[in-house]
Every structure is written in C-alpha cells, then in structure tokens.
Amino acid sequence: MQRLGPVDLQTAVREWAEHEAGGRWAHLNVTAKHVLLVRDPIVREITDPRDVYRARIDPSERCRIRLGTNDRTIATWRVEIQSDTNPNHAASRKHYARLTASDTPINTFGMLVLVETGSDDALIHVIDGFHRAAAWDYHCDRGNLYPIHVNAIVHRRLGIRF
C-alpha cells in the first residue's frame, strides 16, 4: 500500500459518510449525519488513530486485504454475497451486482481501511467498502487491473469487532 499523503480524521470520516449517503443509501434520502449516527460502532472505534493518510492499493496487494477485522478475504465475501438468499440482504446483493455489471473502474473515494502498523506487508482491513472492494477484486480477476484509493486509518488496536 503506497502512502499518497496526509488526510485528517475529520475529512476521512466526512468523505466516508458522504459517500455512503450518496451511494448504497441514496434511495433512502439520508444525510451524511444520519450515516454517522447509524454507523456509530464504526465511528466510535476509529476516533483515536495513530495516523490517517490517503493511500493507493495495487491489484498485487489484494491477498493482504481482509473484510472487517477477521480473516475473511475478498474472495470469501464474494462467494458469500453471491450465494446469500436471505431476503434481508437483497439490497446488498443488488448493489454488488450493479458494481460488477460494468468494467468501469470502481470509485473508491470515501472507502475506509484500517491498517496494522510496523510492516509494509501487514494486513489491510476494510472497515467500510466491502461491496467496492469485492467489485474491484472481480474486475481484477477479469483482467481489468487498476489501483484503488482509500483513506487509511492506523488504529491503536485491532481487536475491534463490529
């Protein structure tokens, strides 16, 4: 993951909330403030970072990415979302299908990742942006290789669960 430059936590969280409000939740006419209230567990866990910066993740680094704070890979999540028949997850499946229906590169602006410190080959934990990460992975598997750009948060602890 290549560091591109600094970004303050407030900007990173605002960009994420604005992206969420205008993306998957757009049909609900919610505001960025509403997103922050609804996604409170994530917001609470990222309020005391060691560092925050913009970064680029190249396709060759996909193997380092985990979705959430467990060991779930992008490939595992892709299988899960495609085989999920729970009617409560229909909007999630539809969003993923929309992102993968085109070869247009995924706009990852606003995506948040949580990183471990100390190593250039440490795991990268996506804390929000599972659909975008999975669609990017899908594109890369089909030969459409391009980097994604994220706001990276170096957290003080990685034992968080949400």
Domain limits for position 64? 2-154
Residue 59 lies in a domain: yes
Q: How many domains in the chain? A: 1
Residue 159 lies in a domain: no
Q: What is the pLDDT of residues 87-139, one digit of tens each?
A: 888 888 888 898 899 888 887 666 666 665 545 667 788 877 888 899 999 99
User: Which of 68, 51, 72, 80 is CA-nearest to residue 125?
Assistant: 68
- Structure confidence at residue 69 (pLDDT): 66
Q: What is the pLDDT of residues 33-82, one digit of tens each?
A: 666 666 665 666 666 677 888 889 999 999 988 887 677 899 999 999 98
Residue 160 lies in a domain: no
Residue 52 lies in a domain: yes
Residue 115 lies in a domain: yes
CB 152, CB 52: distance < 8 Å: yes
Residue 77 lies in a domain: yes
Residue 161 lies in a domain: no
Residue 97 lies in a domain: yes
- Structure confidence at residue 162 (pLDDT): 35
